[in-house]
């Protein structure tokens, strides 16, 4: 009803996220470059120059072909956004009119009606300008002048009294220099997995907020569980939740005297309550209102991570009514009222770092339950900031993470603080967020202006996201501590200077600010780090060995080793980064018809070791000359290699739970991509899954088995359970031995065991080569398949795994004579579903299905990269087919097996 009434006042007034009244300035902007040779009209916000140039057909997509370099000239120009908009006298009659920019990328000057309002230099800050005295009735003119970030970074560099490294990225990145001098997405000047796009633009909404009292900006809360004796029966204890809230309000006037009623409730659970407030805002026109409520723990249910229970969310509503609200006419009343709602979850979280014989533990305890973190690392969903709130893409990626049994994502520190939509979905899906602050792989300034900007950034961003139950941990940066300690950027000659800057920025500024906002969430000054271990730190608070696996978290990339073997990996407390590269399939969307795919791949391969990081691992294990293979074979083998290595390393960490290291987390690098390129992702930029994503779904399953073959002939089998609130279960592991020339089971072994809940159980160990020798099996001719059964219903295997006892290059493997056809092919309501029937005559290894249709870029398979030992198997293929228009034939499919390479 309120919205309808407001529309009678002005057709341009709306309710924004804080449910105050605002005039959105989203449409009809004009974009010009400083050379005055490009002018694009009808720009809509969010906006960025490369998106707008493409939309206006001035350029192609920057993601296409070699355009990341060819279009770089536009990043060297200055650009301006301008807008003419109208105001009525009725609009101007109100007390407060604040022009709000929720995100400007990055270096700007802002003029309203030829008056300089101010400048901006931080992409991650919300900028507010009081424009009450600068607006006219009728037409107003707003212009934002953007300075080239490349040139801006150069100017800052020239003003410095000493170098802040690294000055430039490696040449192979095709990037730009001095990104660490700007508070801008650090990956925007190039990274090893991404293109350099030094963009400019209004990447978040712009509006004029109008009110005559207060606006509610953010709500944070502190949640504690308390136990108190009951009044009736003093020997009984009643558990309650205590919720302490801070409500951050804004007025357009400094030291404003404000009186009114604060009304708040936990919807459907507690309240509403009303408190009279009489206070003054500070010199910036801001204030904090505090309230506390207590509710019985029996009135609400826990919020749980994915796979451990439901994600119960409750809405907290806050409303401010100025005491003058009842003294004005009906249409003006809303300008004296502000309200905001947030969703909260009831859960406790601890980062347990207890003393162990060989260091400190490092694991998360959620609602009193020790939980192994199964996850990945999240980079921005787009390199173009204006596309970072693409709700369709964010939802698809987070759904894929949830469905792959992930319960944690690390928002990596070289990107952005993600959108409200991202964190809302993480709450809904039960995906815990390890939240880095946006500092990565560099040294940074510690001068007064920079620290002031960072302090504002942290306040703005963390107050915005703090209420989400999915936020598990804050980390001040990505890899900057280890970079400084190990001298990645030649800082050793002046270590004390850079270490002092590090301490000022992270310890004395960011950590201090984080604690002032939320003292209950765990905080790390860096990742990797030694966590709470302080004995081995220097006077600046920097660890002597940030990669010590006995403390905190590690980042581990064993380049040069044979990562198809578990001996390449060591246990750690928590592995927050590890991974392997592969090639994506989706090249047809980004290469011109007359261009060489291989040359484009070489251009987009930013790793200093080039494609050898992929080819050498494959050539270590199978007898191929990788570079002489057809391109499609290279893609396939690279994805198989990535999947094998990721699976093995993750299983090393998974089985380490409860042992001498008690490994309790595995976050592989990385979930997603920003373009089509060689990278560590498990999901391609076009949204299709690589083989690794299918495999990690099984590795992270709540019930699984691990088969670990060491170099001493010993095969150890583990049962892994993530179940809680259950008793130990009677389970069976069955090992079936197949010969490569037959689908008949050549031999079987079974082991009965009790599967402990929320734990790893060693099932058995066997001298497998001795066993096979005693049975007259040649290890080269054997495939060992393992199946996990619940003894209460052993009709279907819960999980499976495999071992090749012989070396890959020595296997006596057969052509499985694979045939495939459609057993079903139907399209209804624009959803197309096909069942692919696959027939074989002997075991087929790592069956890989690709779907190639000129009109369909994204599709889902029920499984891929799998081993088949049954004569017939069906795989489901689904995709969108608008109006069921496109005809699909068997020729649109290709299927490969690993057999042919062995």
Query: pLDDT, tens digit, for every residue of 330-371?
Result: 778 999 999 999 999 999 999 999 999 889 999 999 999 999
- Is 457 a residue of the active site? no
Nearest-angstrom CA–CA distance, 35 and 672: 37
Q: Which of 54, 389, 577, 649 is catalytic?
A: 577
Q: Looking at the predicted structure, is the pLDDT value of residue 576 above 60?
A: yes
Helix (H, G, I), strand (E, B) or coil at 188: helix
Nearest-angstrom CA–CA distance, 298 and 285: 40
**Burial category of 782 from C-beta neighbours within 10 Å (exposed 0-12, middle 13-18, buried 19 and up):** buried
For residue 794, name the pLDDT band (cuts at 50, 70, 90).
confident
Other CB atoms within 10 Å distance of the CB of residue 47: 25
User: Tell me, what's the pLDDT at 560?
Assistant: 86
Q: What are phi and psi of 615, to 5 degrees?
A: -65, -35
Strand (E) or helix (H) holding 68: helix 67-70
Q: What are phi and psi of 159, to 5 degrees?
A: -90, -10
The model scores a pTM over 0.85: yes
Closest of 316, 314, 311, 315 to residue 292, by C-alpha: 316
User: Tell me, what's the pLDDT at 713?
Assistant: 81
User: Tell me, what's the pLDDT at 2?
Assistant: 28
Query: pLDDT, tens digit, for every residue of 378-413?
Result: 999 999 999 999 999 999 999 999 999 999 999 999
Query: pLDDT, tens digit, for every residue of 276-321?
Result: 999 999 988 899 999 999 999 999 999 999 999 999 999 999 999 9
User: Tell me, what's the pLDDT at 233?
Assistant: 52
Nearest-angstrom CA–CA distance, 505 and 325: 44
Once rounded to an integer, what is the mean pLDDT over residues 886-900?
95
- Strand positions, DSSP E, 270-372: 270-280, 286-296, 314-322, 337-344, 349-352, 355-356, 359-360, 363-366, 369-371
For residue 229, name the pLDDT band (cuts at 50, 70, 90).
low
Q: Looking at the predicted structure, is the pLDDT value of residue 235 above 70?
A: no
Among the residue ranges 230-244, 445-459, 489-503, the one predicted with the least confidence is 230-244
Query: pLDDT, tens digit, for every residue of 615-661?
Result: 999 999 999 999 999 999 999 999 999 999 999 999 999 999 999 99
Among the residue ranges 5-9, 166-170, 423-427, the one predicted with the least confidence is 5-9
User: Tell me, what's the pLDDT at 328?
Assistant: 84
Once rounded to an integer, what is the mean pLDDT over residues 806-819?
92
Closest of 734, 715, 729 to residue 759, by C-alpha: 729
Pairing verdict, β 866-868 and 844-851 = antiparallel
Mean pLDDT of the residues in the chain: 94
Place of tokens 């081993």: 867
Could you tell me the CA-to-CA distances from 694 to 238, 652, 699, 848 in Å, in that order? 46, 18, 9, 11
Nearest-angstrom CA–CA distance, 706 and 697: 14
For residue 232, name the pLDDT band (cuts at 50, 70, 90).
low
User: Tell me, what's the pLDDT at 559?
Assistant: 87
Residues 6+ apart with CB under 8 A from 438: 124, 183, 185, 186, 413, 414, 415, 416, 417, 457
Once rounded to an integer, what is the mean pLDDT over residues 454-476?
98
For residue 42, name the pLDDT band (cuts at 50, 70, 90).
very high
- Is 448 a residue of the active site? no
User: Tell me, what's the pLDDT at 20?
Assistant: 67
Query: pLDDT, tens digit, for every residue of 488-534?
Result: 999 999 999 999 999 999 999 999 999 999 999 999 999 999 999 99
Asked if the bond preceding 568 is cis, omega within 30° of 0, the reply is no
Closest of 127, 125, 159, 130 to residue 144, by C-alpha: 127
Other CB atoms within 10 Å distance of the CB of residue 297: 15
Nearest-angstrom CA–CA distance, 510 and 265: 32
User: Tell me, what's the pLDDT at 255?
Assistant: 86
DSSP characters over 213-282: S-EEEEEEEEEEEEEEE-SS-TTSEEEEEEEEEEEEEE-SSTT-EEEEEEEEEETTTEEEEEEEEEEE--
Strand (E) or helix (H) holding 846: strand 844-851
Q: What are phi and psi of 150, to 5 degrees?
A: -65, -45
Nearest-angstrom CA–CA distance, 247 and 220: 7
Once rounded to an integer, what is the mean pLDDT over residues 682-701?
98
Bridge partners, residue 287, by sequence: 249
Helix (H, G, I), strand (E, B) or coil at 597: helix
Q: Looking at the predicted structure, is the pLDDT value of residue 130 above 60?
A: yes
Distance of CA 544 to the CA centre of its chain: 29
Once rounded to an integer, what is the mean pLDDT over residues 202-227?
94
**Strands laid side by side in the 893-896 sheet:** 866-868, 844-851, 893-896
User: Tell me, what's the pLDDT at 666?
Assistant: 98
User: Tell me, what's the pLDDT at 236?
Assistant: 64
Distance of CA 362 to the CA centre of its chain: 21
Could you tell me the CA-to-CA distances from 426 to 301, 313, 409, 434, 471 in Å, in that order? 18, 12, 9, 11, 9
User: Tell me, what's the pLDDT at 8?
Assistant: 28
Bridge partners, residue 696, by sequence: none
Among the residue ranges 15-24, 113-122, 407-416, the one predicted with the least confidence is 15-24
Task: Please list, residue by residue across 810-826, b when 16 or more beta carbons sit within 10 angstroms of its beta carbon and e when fewer do.
Answer: ebebbebebebeeeebe
Bridge partners, residue 475, by sequence: 436, 524
User: Tell me, what's the pLDDT at 550?
Assistant: 97
User: Are 511 and 521 spatial neighbours (Cβ–Cβ below 8 Å)?
Assistant: no
Half-sphere exposure of 563 (CA within 13 A, CB side): 27
Q: Looking at the predicted structure, is the pLDDT value of residue 4 above 70?
A: no
User: Tell me, what's the pLDDT at 471?
Assistant: 98
Residue 301 tokens, joined: 């249910």
Nearest-angstrom CA–CA distance, 518 and 183: 23
Share of the chain above pLDDT 90, in %: 91
Half-sphere exposure of 854 (CA within 13 A, CB side): 1
Q: What are phi and psi of 655, to 5 degrees?
A: -75, -10
Q: What are phi and psi of 737, to 5 degrees?
A: -100, 125
Q: Which of 176, 321, 418, 479 is catalytic?
A: 479
Strand (E) or helix (H) holding 3: helix 2-9
Q: Looking at the predicted structure, is the pLDDT value of residue 852 above 80?
A: yes
User: Tell me, what's the pLDDT at 663?
Assistant: 97
DSSP characters over 120-172: E-BTT--EEEE-TTT--SEEEEEEEEEPPHHHHHHHHHHH-SS--S--S--GG
Q: What are phi and psi of 168, to 5 degrees?
A: -140, 155
């Amino acid at each position: 009803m309120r919205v309808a009434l407001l529309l009678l006042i002005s057709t341009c007034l709306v309710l924004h996220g804080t449910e105050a009244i605002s005039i959105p300035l989203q449409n009809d902007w004009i974009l010009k470059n400083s050379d005055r040779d490009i002018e694009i009209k009808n720009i809509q916000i969010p906006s960025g120059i490369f998106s707008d140039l493409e939309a206006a057909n001035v350029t192609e997509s920057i993601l296409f072909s070699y355009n990341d370099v060819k279009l770089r000239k536009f990043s060297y120009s200055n650009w301006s956004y301008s807008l003419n908009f109208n105001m009525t006298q009725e609009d101007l009659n109100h007390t407060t009119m604040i022009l709000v920019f929720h995100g400007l990328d990055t270096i700007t000057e802002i003029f309203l009606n030829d008056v300089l309002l101010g400048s901006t230099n931080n992409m991650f800050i919300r900028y507010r300008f009081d424009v009450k005295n600068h607006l006219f009735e009728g037409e107003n003119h707003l212009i934002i002048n953007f300075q080239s970030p490349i040139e801006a970074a150069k100017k800052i560099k020239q003003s410095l009294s000493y170098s802040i490294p690294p000055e430039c990225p490696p040449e192979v990145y095709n990037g730009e220099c001095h990104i660490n001098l700007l508070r801008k997405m650090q990956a925007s000047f190039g990274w090893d997995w991404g293109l350099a796009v030094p963009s400019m633009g209004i990447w978040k909404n712009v509006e004029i907020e109008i009110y005559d009292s207060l606006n509610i900006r953010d709500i944070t809360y502190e949640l504690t569980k308390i136990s108190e004796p009951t009044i009736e029966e003093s020997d009984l204890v009643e558990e309650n939740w205590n919720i302490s809230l801070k409500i951050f309000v804004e007025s357009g006037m400094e030291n404003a005297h404000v009186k009114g009623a604060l009304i708040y409730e936990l919807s459907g659970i507690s309240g509403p309550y009303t408190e009279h407030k009489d206070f003054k805002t500070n010199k910036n026109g801001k204030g904090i209102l505090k309230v506390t409520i207590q509710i019985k723990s029996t009135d609400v249910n826990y919020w749980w991570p994915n796979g451990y229970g439901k994600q119960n969310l409750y809405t907290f509503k806050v409303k401010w009514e100025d005491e003058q609200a009842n003294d004005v006419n009906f249409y003006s009343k809303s300008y004296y009222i502000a309200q905001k709602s947030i969703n909260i979850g009831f859960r406790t979280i601890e980062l347990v770092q207890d003393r162990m014989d060989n260091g400190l533990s490092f694991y998360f305890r959620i609602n009193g339950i020790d939980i192994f973190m199964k996850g990945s690392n999240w980079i921005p969903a787009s390199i173009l900031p204006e596309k970072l709130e693409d709700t369709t893409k964010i939802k698809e990626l987070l759904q894929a993470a949830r469905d792959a049994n992930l319960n944690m994502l690390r928002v990596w520190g070289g990107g952005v603080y993600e959108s409200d939509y991202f964190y809302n979905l993480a709450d809904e899906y039960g995906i815990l967020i390890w939240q880095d602050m946006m500092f990565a792989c560099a040294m940074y300034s510690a001068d007064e202006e920079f620290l002031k900007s960072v302090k504002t950034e942290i306040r703005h961003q963390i107050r915005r996201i703090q209420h989400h139950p999915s936020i598990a941990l804050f980390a001040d940066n990505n890899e900057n501590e280890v970079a400084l300690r190990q001298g990645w950027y030649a800082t050793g000659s002046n270590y004390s200077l850079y270490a002092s800057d590090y301490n000022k920025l992270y310890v004395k500024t960011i950590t201090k600010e984080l604690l002032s906002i939320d003292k209950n969430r765990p905080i790390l000054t860096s990742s990797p780090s030694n966590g709470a271990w302080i004995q081995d730190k220097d006077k600046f608070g920097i660890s002597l060995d940030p990669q010590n696996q006995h403390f905190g978290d590690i980042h581990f990339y064993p380049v040069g080793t044979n990562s198809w073997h578990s001996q390449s990996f060591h246990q750690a407390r928590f592995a927050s980064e590890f991974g392997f590269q592969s090639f994506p399939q989706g090249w047809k969307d980004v290469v011109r018809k007359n261009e060489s795919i291989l040359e484009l791949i070489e251009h987009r391969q930013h790793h200093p070791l080039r494609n050898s990081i992929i080819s050498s691992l494959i050539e270590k294990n199978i007898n191929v000359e990788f570079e002489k293979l057809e391109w499609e074979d290279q893609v396939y083998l690279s994805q198989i290699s990535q999947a094998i290595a990721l699976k093995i390393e993750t299983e090393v960490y998974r089985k380490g739970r409860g042992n001498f290291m008690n490994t309790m987390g595995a976050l592989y690098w990385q979930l997603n991509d920003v373009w089509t390129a060689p990278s560590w992702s498990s999901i391609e930029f076009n949204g299709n899954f690589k083989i690794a994503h299918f495999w990690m779904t099984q590795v992270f399953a709540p019930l699984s088995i691990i088969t670990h073959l060491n170099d001493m002939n010993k095969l150890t089998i583990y049962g892994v359970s993530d179940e809680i609130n259950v008793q130990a279960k009677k389970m069976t592991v069955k090992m079936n031995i197949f010969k490569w020339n037959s689908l008949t089971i050549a031999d079987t072994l079974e082991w009965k065991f009790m599967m402990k809940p929320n734990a790893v159980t060693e099932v058995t160990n066997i001298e497998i080569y001795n066993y096979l020798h005693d049975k007259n099996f040649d290890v080269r001719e054997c495939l060992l398949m393992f199946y996990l059964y619940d003894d209460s219903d052993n009709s279907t295997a819960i999980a499976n795994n495999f071992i090749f006892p012989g070396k890959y290059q020595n296997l006596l493997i057969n052509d499985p004579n694979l045939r495939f056809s459609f057993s079903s092919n139907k399209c209804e309501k624009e959803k197309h579903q096909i069942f692919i029937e696959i027939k074989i005559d002997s075991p087929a290894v790592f069956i890989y299905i690709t779907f190639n249709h000129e009109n369909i870029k994204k599709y889902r398979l029920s499984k891929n990269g799998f081993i088949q030992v049954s004569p017939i198997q069906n795989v489901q293929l689904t995709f969108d087919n608008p109006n069921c228009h496109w005809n699909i034939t068997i020729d649109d499919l290709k299927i490969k097996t690993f057999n042919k390479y062995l």
